[in-house]
Structure 1
Amino acid sequence: MLVEVNSFPILETNRLILRKVTNDDACSLLKYLSDRDVMKHIGLEPFKSINDALDEISWYQSIYDKNTGIRWGITLKNQGQVIGSCGFLNLIPKHYRSEIGIELSKEHWGEGIASEAINAVIRYGFMHMNLQRIEALIEPPNLLSQKLVEKQGFIKEGLLRSYEFTGGKFDDLYMYSLLKPDFE
């Protein structure tokens, strides 16, 4: 189900509402983005202050404003608290492609929430953003994310060696992709 409010789409699944993240959500973001296990494969240091969370929220707004991405806060239907985020970044409309990313509070790992959220976002990307290709860049040790995207039908295309410099080191990343015809 899709509901547009002030042009920002709200996505609804069986258990989740994916919505715009606002400054009111800063404490929720700080809670899970300060967890070293959550941040382990994201390429950022764990957050230390509410200002780190506010900067992240500001980044979400900037990619939306610049049409280079969109990030939804993941909430459980019976609660309003943001427990993760999922969305597109590095959107390139002229090539009909974007990267996808997700993170989730550790207390909700293993509940199928990440699968439910990412599926809704993928569906939105193909149906409403006219994407042809969605990419996921994943560090080789991040087996849970690899399993997550493979479950959605993503294909591992190869290894991008020393693709990113994060946390003072070069990281290899697997390139996964999902094409619209494969999802349909």
Structure 2
Amino acid sequence: MYKLRELESRDLTVINSWRNDPELIGHLGAPYRYINLRVDEEWFENYMRSRARNVRCSIVDENDDVLYGLVSLTNLDQFNQCAELHLMIGNIEHRGKGIGTFAVKEMLHHAFMNLNLHRIELSCLAENTVSAKLYENCGFKHEGFQRKAVFKNGKYIDMHRYAILREEYMEIKGNE
């Protein structure tokens, strides 16, 4: 099975290889660009300085700590009690095995039950129907889309917006 643990510097070599994979980045809202390991080390150092506003977790095998992906809550806003969710499953052979669903559900539990947040939101590429289905299955509601919001592979692509509220999450948990 899987578990979440806080992102550690030892994860950076694997993460850097993922962030340099054009196929993987093609499924995410981020633009593809070449990223050297030092950039990811600085990204990690920045995270360590901003832990009050961000929670970044590695998704790992609970037995041997093999890294499968990342799940994060970013831009935590304590006044409005909201944050943004981000998910990345690194290697193609690990996708479609329930790892993302596990990670999203664990992070939602942490957000609502430990961090006392009220709303978690996210964006995903309109053409990424697999991710959209995962988020909807975890209780996220489609709130709309941003037309031609990101530039990928020479064209502008729409982004879907999703969110889940604490009361929606609690209703799902009560029905499980």
Using structure 2 for the length normalisation, give the TM-score: 0.84
Query: Which one of the candidate residues 25, 38, 41 is aligned to 1:54?
Result: 41
Query: Which one of the candidate residues 111, 126, 130 is aligned to 2:116?
Result: 130
- Partner residue of 2:96? 110
- Partner residue of 1:159? 145
**How far, CA to CA, are the matches of 2:150 and 2:35 in structure 1?**
23
5+ long unaligned stretches in structure 2: 171-176
Query: Which one of the candidate residues 77, 80, 87 is aligned to 2:72?
Result: 87
Structure 1 residue 162: deviation in Å? 4.5
Query: Which one of the candidate residues 146, 151, 162 is aligned to 1:176?
Result: 162
Inter-CA distance 78–22: structure 2 relative to 1 (3 Å threshold): same
5+ long unaligned stretches in structure 1: 1-14
**How far, CA to CA, are the matches of 1:36 and 1:146 in structure 2?**
20
What do residues 69-117 of structure 1 show as CA deviations (whole Å, max 9, x unaligned)? 2110111112223221001112211001111010011220011001001
**How far, CA to CA, are the matches of 1:168 and 1:35 in structure 2?**
17
The percentage of aligned residue pairs carrying the same residue is 24
Inter-CA distance 120–55: structure 2 relative to 1 (3 Å threshold): same
1:57-68 alignment runs, 5 A limit:
57-64=44-51, 67-68=52-53
Structure 1 residue 165: deviation in Å? 6.5
**How far, CA to CA, are the matches of 1:63 and 1:168 in structure 2?**
33
Structure 1 residue 174: deviation in Å? 1.2
Structure 1, 132-141 or 168-177: larger mean CA deviation: 168-177
Q: Contact conserved, 1:99 with 1:134, CA < 8 A, in 2?
A: yes
- Partner residue of 2:58? 73
The answer to whether the aligner puts 1:42 opposite 2:29 as a matched pair is yes
Q: Contact conserved, 1:35 with 1:46, CA < 8 A, in 2?
A: no
Structure 1 residue 47: deviation in Å? 4.7
Count of aligned residue pairs for this structure pair? 168
Structure 1 residue 61: deviation in Å? 2.2
State the SS of the aligned residue for 2:7: coil
**How far, CA to CA, are the matches of 1:69 and 1:167 in structure 2?**
29
- Partner residue of 1:148? 134
State the SS of the aligned residue for 1:110: coil
RMSD: 2.2
Q: Which amino acid aligns with 2:80?
A: H
What do residues 122-174 of structure 1 show as CA deviations (whole Å, max 9, x unaligned)? 11100011111110111111111101100101110111234456788755321
Structure 1 residue 179: deviation in Å? 0.8
- Partner residue of 1:11? none
